[in-house]
């Protein structure tokens, strides 16, 4: 093991190792020492292997007593940064020495790369799925035309706000909002113009209300806004700001200007025993706003139990 042979072994970039009878490293190539630092002269070769490989090597060697034996084994080294699957061929040389010639299995680096690719694809898929799920949830709760909550989502959130109001005795305001003359816009200029008006009103409602408020489209040209921690005066002030904002921003569609106005009825939860009563109270106030000439805000009277008046179909 001296001289040129030893020099060739130690400087080889391949995986070469000479072991003694106790499986200690006598010589190890530069390539093997670089990839698996624990393979060094005097060290136990088995320490460089994972547990399964240690057992496999011990068992295989115990079955070969011929000094000129040769065997092939797939062993896994504990490398510097990763596990290294290595295809070894061991054979007997001068007693009591054992020589091993190995090559890193192609599947080792390829498998690591494949696992990395699969892991990246998995995380990308999870991210895309989360994004799609969020988008589907958003579509399920938002009115696609106006960008405010749809009726079902509003009622779900409103129930929670009502429970919070009853539990903590917080103020809770409600505004029922209707677009004046909407049927006439649809009949005269068509549904495309009507949709543009609804989109315009939806955007102005969202811009006027706070992030904590719950604006929704109940259907047709009727909107509602639930305003947590807002008393009747505060809800009226918000409704009047919305009225002024709509009046100052006429909508133009296909060279046709629409000076849209709103009728708004406002109520407060203090005089109501249920969410339905609060909404009915705001609806009665809306009917009064329509009856008194439209383009105005009316606050609810203390007659929360009176029946809701039928709405004028020409709103």
Please write the tens of the pLDDT for every residue from 225-272: 999 999 999 999 999 999 999 999 998 877 778 789 999 999 999 889
Whether residue 74 lies inside any domain: the answer is yes
- Choose from 80-84, 129-133, 249-253 the range with maximum mean pLDDT: 249-253
Whether residue 267 lies inside any domain: the answer is yes
Q: How far is CA 15 from CA 26, 85, 95, 146, in A?
A: 14, 12, 21, 69
Going by pLDDT thresholds of 50, 70 and 90, the confidence category of residue 312 is very low
Going by pLDDT thresholds of 50, 70 and 90, the confidence category of residue 215 is very high
Output the domain CATH number for residue 202: 3.30.70.270
Query: What pLDDT sits at residue 298?
Result: 97
Residue 107 pLDDT > 60: no
Whether residue 313 lies inside any domain: the answer is no
Verify that 9 and 94 share a domain, yes or no: yes
Residue 206 in 3-state DSSP? helix
Verify that 203 and 170 share a domain, yes or no: yes
Ranking 98-112, 234-248, 290-304 by mean pLDDT, the lowest is 98-112
Q: Which DSSP symbol is given to 18?
A: E
Whether residue 40 lies inside any domain: the answer is yes
Ranking 84-98, 145-159, 183-197 by mean pLDDT, the lowest is 84-98
Q: What are phi and psi of 207, to 5 degrees?
A: -70, -25
Verify that 153 and 272 share a domain, yes or no: yes
Q: Given 104, 127, 159, which residue is the final one in a domain?
A: 104
Residue 315 pLDDT > 90: no
Verify that 47 and 149 share a domain, yes or no: no
Verify that 135 and 100 share a domain, yes or no: no
Verify that 137 and 150 share a domain, yes or no: no
Whether residue 158 lies inside any domain: the answer is yes
Angle between helix 106-141 and helix 151-168 axes, rounded to 10 deg: 80
Residue 203 pLDDT > 90: yes
Query: What pLDDT sits at residue 310?
Result: 36
Residue 88 pLDDT > 80: yes
Verify that 212 and 99 share a domain, yes or no: no
Query: What pLDDT sits at residue 145?
Result: 93
Tell me the per-residue pLDDT of 141-170, one tens digit each, with 9 for 90 and over: 899 899 999 999 999 999 999 999 999 999
Q: What is the largest CA-CA distance in the chain?
A: 113
Verify that 188 and 270 share a domain, yes or no: yes
Verify that 127 and 90 share a domain, yes or no: no
* Mean pLDDT score across all residues of the chain: 85
- Choose from 20-29, 203-212, 255-264 the range with maximum mean pLDDT: 203-212
Query: What pLDDT sits at residue 308?
Result: 38
Structural domain containing residue 289: 143-299
Query: What pLDDT sits at residue 7?
Result: 65
Verify that 272 and 157 share a domain, yes or no: yes
Verify that 165 and 279 share a domain, yes or no: yes
Residue 70 pLDDT > 90: no
Q: Report whether 225 contacts 241 (CB < 8 A).
A: no
Whether residue 305 lies inside any domain: the answer is no
Whether residue 175 lies inside any domain: the answer is yes
Question: Tokens for 89?
Answer: 């061929």
Query: What pLDDT sits at residue 6?
Result: 65
Q: How many domains does the chain have?
A: 3
Whether residue 72 lies inside any domain: the answer is yes
Contacts of 21 (CB under 8 A, 6+ apart): 96, 97, 98
Verify that 183 and 54 share a domain, yes or no: no
Q: How far is CA 153 from CA 25, 138, 189, 225, 269, in A?
A: 72, 10, 31, 13, 20
Neighbours of 87 (CB within 10 A): 17
d(CA 108, CA 114) in angstroms, rounded, equals 10
Output the domain CATH number for residue 39: 3.30.450.20
> Rounded mean pLDDT of 66-75?
81
Angle between helix 151-168 and helix 275-291 axes, rounded to 10 deg: 110
Q: What is the pTM of this model?
A: 0.57
Going by pLDDT thresholds of 50, 70 and 90, the confidence category of residue 301 is confident
């Amino acid at each position: 093991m001296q001289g040129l042979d030893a020099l060739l072994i130690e400087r080889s970039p391949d995986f070469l190792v000479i072991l003694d009878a106790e499986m200690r490293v006598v010589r190890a190539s530069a390539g093997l020492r670089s990839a698996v630092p624990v393979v060094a002269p005097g060290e136990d070769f088995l320490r460089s292997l994972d547990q399964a490989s240690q057992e496999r090597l011990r068992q295989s060697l115990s079955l070969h007593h011929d000094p000129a034996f040769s065997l092939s084994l797939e062993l896994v080294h504990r490398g510097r940064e990763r596990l290294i699957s290595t295809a070894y061929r061991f054979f007997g040389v001068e007693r009591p020495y054992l020589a091993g010639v190995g090559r890193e299995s192609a599947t080792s680096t390829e498998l690591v790369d494949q696992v990395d690719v699969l892991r990246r694809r998995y995380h990308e898929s999870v991210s895309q799925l989360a994004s799609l799920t969020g988008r589907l949830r958003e579509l399920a709760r938002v009115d696609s035309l106006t960008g405010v909550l749809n009726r079902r989502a509003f009622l779900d959130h409103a129930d929670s706000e009502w429970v919070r109001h009853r539990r903590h005795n917080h103020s809770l305001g409600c505004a029922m909002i209707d677009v004046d003359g909407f049927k006439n816009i649809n009949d005269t200029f068509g549904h495309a113009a009507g949709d543009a008006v609804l989109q315009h009103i939806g955007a102005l409602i969202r811009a006027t209300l706070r992030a904590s408020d719950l604006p929704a489209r109940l259907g047709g040209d009727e909107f509602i806004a639930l305003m947590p921690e807002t008393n009747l005066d505060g809800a009226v002030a918000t409704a009047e700001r919305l009225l002024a904002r709509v009046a100052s921003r006429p909508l133009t569609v296909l060279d046709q200007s629409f000076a849209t106005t709103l009728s708004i009825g406002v109520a407060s939860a203090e005089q109501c025993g249920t969410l339905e009563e609060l909404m009915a109270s705001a609806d009665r106030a809306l009917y009064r706003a329509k009856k008194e000439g439209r383009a105005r805000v009316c606050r609810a009277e203390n007659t929360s139990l009176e029946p809701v008046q039928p709405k004028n179909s020409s709103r």
